[in-house]
Structure 1
Amino acid sequence: MYRRHLLALLAAAPLAAGLAAPAHAQQLSLNEISAYLNGMQTATGGFTQINADGTISTGTVYIKRPGRVRFEYNPPERALTVAGGGSVAVFDGRSNDNPQRYPLNTTPLSIILAQNVNLGQANMVTGHTSDGTTTTVTAQDPAHPEYGSIQLKFTANPVELRQWVITDDTGTQTTVILNDLRTGVSVGDILFNIQAATRNWNG
């Protein structure tokens, strides 16, 4: 359960209508993708999460690079995932032990939330393909491949992140569909404060 929400931090996909790129789009280079991610300092939008067991959750995601992301889940699910200060905190309404905390650098999410994303470094990218419409990159922490991988799917003209699927160390996959992701928006630091989130959760 905790793992399911933790993985949600690491997934995003364009299954919603109207997100397709023009046919025969040029394959994006790793440098282009790295530059796009480095340029995405803040972002917010809706998401639909497809869990490994087939269940579906929805909510709102907030991103503030480097190192910060927040997933707020919509009712009837009572859940929250917050990354900030080098940690990931997972809150679950079905548990009496909240939050569960993990080091951010032990999750594939840390790859795209890094201060400087460099997909060109040795042994980070394990797959880089194009189907003529989208470019897909699979990446891992080259020092700790056992932490799992993140698969990112992009369209071009302009470059946009469309899909983000996490595979954990057991082979479990989680996908999140991004809806109307807006970049360059104002996002307050308090959203990523785990202590504040804990107080609000227990209040």
Structure 2
Amino acid sequence: MTQNSSHRSTGARIARALAIPALALATLGVTAAPPLAAQGAPRSAELDRAVAALRSIDTMRADFVQTDRSGQRTTGVMTLKRPGKIRFQYQKGVPLLIVSDGRALTMVDYEVRQVQRWPISNSPLGALLDPKRDVARFGKLIPTGNPAVTSIEVRDSKHPEYGMITLIFVKDPSAPGGMALNSWVALDSQNKRTTIRLANQKYGMAVPDSTFAYNDPRRNASTRR
């Protein structure tokens, strides 16, 4: 495989991992599924605790490993700042960047000088970024068999074509709310699974808003990250 082909293949994996448009409504998109209570399922205290922990994060930085269905891995650093800001800085040699400035989620491909943008609310990352969304209303608790692990599956039952995303939390006294976001799994409508695993989570650091800016490669062909 040539270097360019490898980069383009990586871009496809990244798009699937964050499910940017395929899982748009699966994680609190524009047309939300009815509340669980309305579907006859009770709200779980464990579910509420996980959501409260997620909402307690002000800033966070973590290493991530992205794995696609074929087992190929890409690494990088994720930086999050509420409300609405996130940056996925991929490993050296991967000419892609995913960033949200609080209004829109942007994927920048420096190899082909392409920029794509989506509203935060239309992205599965809305579960992490949009403070107006309530994961507990649209998700359901998935039994894990481990009292230290909480798994929340989020999907729009009326639109199975949008796929689903599962957020996984691990009890951690050092994390906000006592639970750390450990990973998430995206499954698209063609059953293509991609996993993001986090490690070395750190909280509460100062993060300037300039972290969530990017150079637009369309303006200058020589632009680099």
Match of 2:13 in 1: 4
How many corresponding residue pairs? Answer: 182
Match of 1:129 in 2: 143
Once the two structures are superposed, residues 36-62 of structure 1 have per-residue CA deviations (whole angstroms, 9 ceiling, x without a partner) of 011012100211111234221111110
Whether 1:155 and 2:175 are equivalent positions in the alignment is no
User: In the aligned structure 2, how far is the partner of 1:95 from the partner of 1:103?
Assistant: 22
Whether 1:35 and 2:49 are equivalent positions in the alignment is no
Q: Judging changes above 3 Å, is the alpha-carbon distance between structure 1 residues 4 and 135 closer, same or farther for their aligned structure 2 residues?
A: same
Specify the code of the residue in structure 2 equivalent to 1:180.
N
User: In the aligned structure 2, how far is the partner of 1:167 from the partner of 1:181?
Assistant: 24
Cα pair 1:134 1:153 within 8 Å, conserved: yes
Equivalent of 1:63 in 67, 70, 80: 80
Q: Judging changes above 3 Å, is the alpha-carbon distance between structure 1 residues 78 and 63 closer, same or farther for their aligned structure 2 residues?
A: same
Q: Judging changes above 3 Å, is the alpha-carbon distance between structure 1 residues 192 and 157 closer, same or farther for their aligned structure 2 residues?
A: closer
Alignment of 1:122-201 (within 5 A): 124-132=138-146, 133-140=148-155, 146-158=161-173, 159-193=179-213, 196-198=214-216
Cα pair 1:37 1:117 within 8 Å, conserved: no
Alignment RMSD: 2.7
Deviation at 1:172, TM superposition (A): 2.1
Q: Judging changes above 3 Å, is the alpha-carbon distance between structure 1 residues 8 and 104 closer, same or farther for their aligned structure 2 residues?
A: same
Cα pair 1:106 1:147 within 8 Å, conserved: no
Identity %: 29
User: In the aligned structure 2, how far is the partner of 1:100 from the partner of 1:191?
Assistant: 18
Whether 1:77 and 2:97 are equivalent positions in the alignment is no
Q: Judging changes above 3 Å, is the alpha-carbon distance between structure 1 residues 78 and 157 closer, same or farther for their aligned structure 2 residues?
A: closer
> SS where residue 99 of structure 1 aligns?
strand
> SS where residue 131 of structure 1 aligns?
coil
Gaps of 5+ in 1: 11-26
Q: Judging changes above 3 Å, is the alpha-carbon distance between structure 1 residues 42 and 145 closer, same or farther for their aligned structure 2 residues?
A: farther
Q: Judging changes above 3 Å, is the alpha-carbon distance between structure 1 residues 117 and 95 closer, same or farther for their aligned structure 2 residues?
A: same
Equivalent of 2:120 in 104, 108, 117: 104
Deviation at 1:3, TM superposition (A): 4.9
Specify the code of the residue in structure 2 equivalent to 1:114.
D
User: In the aligned structure 2, how far is the partner of 1:165 from the partner of 1:32?
Assistant: 20
Match of 2:223 in 1: 202
Q: What is the TM-score normalised by the length of structure 2?
A: 0.69
Structure 1 or 2, whichever has the larger Rg, is 2
Q: Judging changes above 3 Å, is the alpha-carbon distance between structure 1 residues 126 and 77 closer, same or farther for their aligned structure 2 residues?
A: same
Cα pair 1:149 1:166 within 8 Å, conserved: yes
> SS where residue 130 of structure 1 aligns?
coil
Deviation at 1:9, TM superposition (A): 4.2
Deviation at 1:6, TM superposition (A): 3.5
Q: Judging changes above 3 Å, is the alpha-carbon distance between structure 1 residues 147 and 41 closer, same or farther for their aligned structure 2 residues?
A: farther
